[in-house]
Structures are given as C-alpha cells and as structure tokens.
Amino acid sequence: MNTGVVNASEVIDSRSLGPFQWLILIGCGLVAALDGLDTQCIGYTAPMVAAAVRVPMHTIGLIISAGLVGATIGAFTFGPAADRFGRKWPLVLSCTLFSIFTFTTIFAHTLPQILVMRFLAGLGLGGAAPSFLALGGEYSPRRLRAIVVSSLYAAFPLGGVVGGLVGSQLITHVGWKSVFVLGGLGPAAMAVLVATTFPESLRFLLAKGERSARLGQILGRITGENYAGVTFTSNVGQVEQGSGVVPLFTEGRALTTLVLWVPFFTAFQAVLCINTFAPTIFKIAHIPLATATLMLVAGNLGGVCGAIAVGAVMRKYGPFVMLVPFMIIGGISTALLGSLTYSLPLLTVDLFVEGVTLGGSVCALFALAAAVYPTRMRGSGIGWASGMGRVGQIVGPLVLGAMVAQHAGVPQIFFAMGAPSVVGGLAILGLLPARKQMDFGGAEPVAAH
C-alpha cells in the first residue's frame, strides 16, 4: 500500500506498459484502423453509391469530398473539445457519430442524403484522432510516447489493408451496402468499449488540477497497487483558460505551429490521393481494378512498417534525422509512380517505398505534434494539425480532378501528388529552432509537458 505523497505522472513514466495500458492503446489503435478502412473502402464504393442513387459518375468526387469536409471540421472542433472536456467523452461522441451515419448511408436514396450522411460520418471520423492520439500518448511513459503515438496511427494503413482485402470481397459477394454495415458496427463497438472501460486521461486530470481519490483508482488499475489516502502531486503543467487555436500561437509557438501545418497538409493530401484517386488514374493507364487494389495493399503495408521504424528513430534522435528524408523520398517515389505503369513489379515496389516513407511520415507527424505541445493544449495542437492535413485532402483531389478533366498525362498527375511532400519535408527543418522545447521522452524539455 502506498502512503504519503505520490507524483502521479512519474508513476506512469517510471514503469513499463502494463496490461491496462495495453488495453487502452489497442482500443485507440482500432479506432485508427477504422479510419483507414473507411478511407480505403469509400474509394471503391463511391461509384456504386452513385449508381444506386442514379447520379452521374462525376459526383463521385462530391461523395468523397463530403466526408473529408466533415473530417476537417471534426478535427478543428473535437481537438479543442478534448482539451476542455477531456479525451474520453469526445472520443465516445466521435465514434458514435461515425457509427450512426456510416450505417445509415445504406438507407439514403438521393445524392443530398448521401452527402449529408458522409459529412456527418466524417465529422466523427475526423474528431476521433485528436482524442485517441492524446489519450494513448498520455497513458504511455514519456520515453515511449513518440513511438506509441506513431505506432497508433500505423493502424491507419493497417485498416487500409483490411479495407482493400475484406472490402473488395464483401462488395463482390454481398454488395456495397455490407461495407457500410461493417463500417458502422466497428465504431459502435469502440464507443461502448471506451465509455464503459476507459478512464479519462490521467495527465489531463492532473493538468486540470484534480487531486482526488479518482487518481488513485486509475493508478491502481495501472499498477495493481492501493493508493487510498495518498496525496498526489504532478509535474504536468496546469490547463490554461480557454482552448482552441489561440493558445497554439502563444508562448512563442506561432511560427512552430504554422511550420508544423505545412508537412501535415502536403503528406495528408498525397496519402489520400493515392488511396482514393490512384485506382482511377491506374485505370487510365489500363491497369485492372483488382490489380490496383493489391498494389495499394502493398503501399499500406509499407505504411505500417514505416510508422514503426520512424517512431523508434524519433524516440532516440528526434524528428529531423529520419522524418525529413522520409518526406522527401516519399514525395519523389509518389511522383515516379506515373512513369512506372509499364511494369507492375516496379510499380508495386515503388508503392511499397512510398508507403514506408510517406505513409510512415504521416504517422510520425502525429508523434511530432504530440511532442510540440504540452498536455494542456495537446488535443488542440493535434486537432488543428490534423485539420490542416484534412484541408490538404480536400484540395488535393480537387486539383487532380481538374487535371484529369483537362486530360493531363498520368506522369504529370502523379508528379502533382508527390511534389508538395518534398516541400513539406524541407519545411520540417524550420522546426529546428524549437527542438529543445519538444518532449520526445529523452532529456527533460525546457517546457514541462
């Protein structure tokens, strides 16, 4: 039994991950996987949805964009909500929205109904990431936070693998509606799991100034020890009044915040365009849909491998050693895709390289955002960075769609996908002046996190 004074945050930092923490991390990873599954499957189902409601094929872009617009607004709003109300209940609400409006898509009979359903489902989908990334990172020891956060979002490409393999089989043998049934049941199960099993983020409660017996109950679930009658202290900074985007520009963070948004914007648009737009572009190059699906699976597998590798390196060396070259190589490999359509083996290898580098970089960018911002504004920081990435996911397809309408060549289209990520990689160098304030779990940073 513990007695006296206990530093609650140091209890987590001084221990390895226990079974209860693993449960939280696995649950957060499953939410990320559902995001990847939805992103992959909507690229395949959108033409069938358009046919079902008898609208022209050019409305496919509207169906995809409706979800992206919702996800963008969700990231901008749910991130600050996670800093004001906690990580748990915004995550439950996000999963609930995602579940209800993904499932009810099968009952839509007109294009406006489809667009509303996809928008509301996207609202929940985009709102989940700030909460589950903050929750997972804050229940991890400081020394593991970078690799945990990047590995959590590695579940996104893993979900894309499942979406590509399972989704294509469901569409073939059951019909396109089965994809939305599966996509609705998954987040519903996660909403129930989080609501009934997960506690609020311990570090968030400490930052809010709570020192009640509730902290002892949470620590007891983590360590298996008794904390009755203990007085709690913490080195977590106190929550500031207010939340949202404004605190991200205070205390000398303005330039850091703006620079961070650049790689989010460029990398998100490239990964989304490859997952949802590439099948259409490959069709122009006379590559069958089934073949394109398998090649995209190779890219998503590369993303899983890249995320784990980048997270491990970031923990030891920080973001600049690996993340910068990965973004640049990822942009170049994406730009080269259009010149390799003559050889399926080379195209598949290049997609895997793109997945390792650019897909891995996206995961590592979340770890970077979690390191840039302290607990009191971490949800807002991740949410707004993610939101800027979602804006990139809206702009990218619009640009590519215009290029397709103008009959641009396949090499030019893929060059337009990849070139911005090279710029994003170089932009990360602009964060060098703020590296001493970042908390990657090594030496104690200048600003307490």
Q: pLDDT by residue (tens digit) across 254-308?
A: 899 999 999 999 999 998 888 777 776 777 777 876 677 677 778 878 887 887 7
Helix extents (H) in 105-236 = 111-138, 145-173, 177-197, 202-207, 213-223
Per-residue confidence at 153, pLDDT binned at 50, 70, 90?
confident
Query: 76: exposed, middle or buried (C-beta count within 10 Å: 0-12, 13-18, 19+)?
Result: buried
Please report the domains of the chain, with CATH numbers, ordered by start residue: 5-204+239-437 (1.20.1250.20)
HSE-CB for 447 with a 13 A CA cutoff:
20
Cβ atoms 351, 292 nearer than 8 A: no
Span 69-90, pLDDT tens digits: 998 899 888 888 888 888 999 9
Give the three-state DSSP class for 294: helix
- pLDDT at residue 249 tops 70: yes
Cβ atoms 236, 9 nearer than 8 A: yes
> What is the H or E stretch that residue 233 is in?
strand 231-233
Q: What pLDDT score does 444 carry?
A: 37
